[in-house]
Structure 1
């Protein structure tokens, strides 16, 4: 018998065929479907659900009560806050089957999705973007963007460390993160790290 390289609480349900990377921790009452692919060093909090057509990178943190439905991809180092929500059908109806209409959602490396936020399907969340608690994302989010509100709108920029950058929403500028000394540059409406 092959030794598991991940740890799972005895109450977790892991369907046969699921791929789970080493050092990943699976907590109470988690359900992972058979075709899910989960990377290394991840943490899946209590009562999480991971669908079949889901790809999760390395070092992803999924907090309690998060369902990651089909057609969602989470790249490395993504943080999903408690009870945040993904969708996969734009216009669901109980009496109308739309499983062939699932829209892809991509969350890029290092993004943070705050507690109780909602990500409407078909969107792309940029790398190191930061979605505030309770926000409802209805359109693509730029790299490093700080999003808040219902519907979510951009209110600023965030560093990879999670510090708000003192930069305008558009124009040009430069900011040095006080925690890491990394330099961030704004050109037009895009931020990049030097």
Structure 2
């Protein structure tokens, strides 16, 4: 396929305002602590989100996929989800990355599997940097496409770990890093993926 014919997408739950605000604040504090600006959350260009499925797909399949997801959103949302807390993990490369973990409730797992089923109905493409949303001259981290290409085998189904990525650094070292214990998630969206598996642009959204 040609350079502009495929696109890397993330099907996500968008958090309610209070959770999004907490994520933005914690991300800013991590940046101030570490100086690492590889992930700068922004409500207009780098959205806090809970991933449900990632893949590179042909752009022509977006309308059929979003139509199916629209029906799924109307039948599955809203979801009242428990926030398990802010955590930090060390990656295989030794980087410390923080996030807000969500409890893996049965309704959330059902939604994840249902979204994966719809995404699996469209052809899979090998993710390449050209599939991503990027700034001029931006260097794409190899992790990004590797994560997208390995999502179904390494991050989905039994390995699914619902979370909102906050950025690099240890959030647990910050004071007052608590997040609301429960929240109502009512927006399903398809986003154009950016560097470090960020959500740069909403391509479709249904709020219930």
Could you say which structure has the larger radius of gyration?
A: 1
With the length of structure 1 as denominator, give the TM-score of the two structures. 0.21
Bigger fraction of residues in strand: 1
Larger RCO (CA under 8 A, 6+ residues apart): 2
With the length of structure 2 as denominator, give the TM-score of the two structures. 0.20
